[in-house]
Structure 1
Amino acid sequence: MREKEGYFFIGHILAMFFGLAGLLLVLPHPEFVANLPPIGQSAFSWSMIGGGVVYMILGWATIALFAYRKLGLWHWLGFMIPALGISLTSELLGTSTGFPFGDYHYLSGLGYKISGLVPFTIPLSWFYLGFCGYIITRVGLEKLSLPSSVKDLGAIIFGSLLLTSWDFVLDPAMSQTSMPFWLWDQPGAFFGMPYQNFIGWFGTGVVFMSVATIVWRFKPLDFNKIPLTIPIGVYIGNFTFAMVMSIGANFYIPVLLGIFTGILPLVIFVSLAYKSESGNSIGLPFLSQ
């Protein structure tokens, strides 16, 4: 973790940990905040106002720098621009028309809202979680004797699945916590959410990952040379954040579903990615990247 993006990654994880402490330990006990000294009350107030913004910006910075340094400018922008543009378009449509996710609206806590509807940080999270799911899957598939087009298709499908699996776990808690960040105007059968939401998530991921795949084909990558320490850490860190939030809200089924559709495939693709030429799995160099 000695690379430059490692510092952003550490800040990203610390910001999420601080946010969890505030949402799960401090907010339910207002007497704790009332007994803090003025500087402590000010720090807590700031964390509730800007904590979500900070952790998402740091997540974006971590993956943006990683992608630029390890893949190059073309591949970084070739993934980030479609991810930001298409996810923002989906979110603006969703918050104004109900398509493709269902009827919902964002509250405060995630930063300036584009067109008064979508916090600017939301497309950032689509990018960095989508990139992690896609690149982990694509590097793992590179080890298999399959046509390149099949590997690309597999990365789009399973990358979108990993992205959606994170939302399985995150969305129930974040929309129903003591300080929700968005609310559903169209309550659904899945812990207050419509199933349409997940179709929208998967579909949006498929669209921007497909565009990125086409862009990347103009300058083919050697996927065997891409380290995965940072993408793995970011995905697991964000999944853990969502999991702890859901467990804190007593939502256990979304956690189990997310583990089955997200963490289990992640483990499989990571095992493939770190498979040696002899067919033996090699260790994950978490401290050496």
Structure 2
Amino acid sequence: MTTTLNRSIWNTELELELFQKITQKYAPNLPKQRLHETKPPTTPEEIEKFYHYRVAGAAHDLFIVQVCAKVIGEIPDPELQLFLSQQIGDDGAHAANTRRRAQAIYGQDPIADIQKQVEKHWEYMGDLPVRNWQGFLAFELHYEMHIVASLFINGITSKISDPQSAEFSKTRIKPEEARHRLGVVNWWQNKYEQASPAKKANLAAQVLEIDEEAQQRRNPYLKQHWQLTQAALGTDITDLPKIYDAWRREVLAYFLDIPVNQLPPLVSVND
């Protein structure tokens, strides 16, 4: 594999650039920006669906907290530990806010439902997130990096949202999650860029292998979650599988510092 030169810095501008490049190829009819304002859920059916969507969001964040809490003392890297302490606090706050909003909208505390969904994440992922540093990196890739394109689609095509949740997302979640993604990039680059060419090739092979395992484990969840999101928010998921696969390839190409077309064939979300 040939390395690329002069990579762009990973940030939200690069993410948008990559997303637009991918959608131009795989979903040219997708709007570049939101065309209509959202409305809050009002009917019993809308509230029910929105509740389950918010439970899923809280479970995603709480699962991240649980994994990071297990790992923080296991990998002897103080830079990583400081980053994870921030990630734990941020994602814990995100989950707590989502819990409060779900309760306000639905009228009951969702904590038991949230924990049930967290347990499903552990069932899907098994020991992979805490197996070793490679597994933890794959976990961070799948729970922070690989999902970004689907978040863009939600932001552009959703029809239903909770205004208070949207404000919290704008002021807290979006900037904090962008910081998490940069933290993952920095942690990996500090390890990868210090390696010799032979060591890099070995590391790249390890990362691809564990990321592929994680994708296979995540596929049933992702398909179910996208259907849930479509039902609750009215999002357009028609081209999401193709967009997701292409986005994941871009992320891995960036992380491994190789051209996208030099990546081997990868597991698809549709496999």
Does TM-score exceed 0.5, indicating one fold? no
Q: Judging by fraction of residues, say which structure has more helix.
A: 2
Q: Whose relative contact order is higher, 1 or 2, with alpha carbons under 8 Å and at least 6 apart? A: 2
Tell me the TM-score normalised to structure 1 length: 0.38
Tell me the TM-score normalised to structure 2 length: 0.40
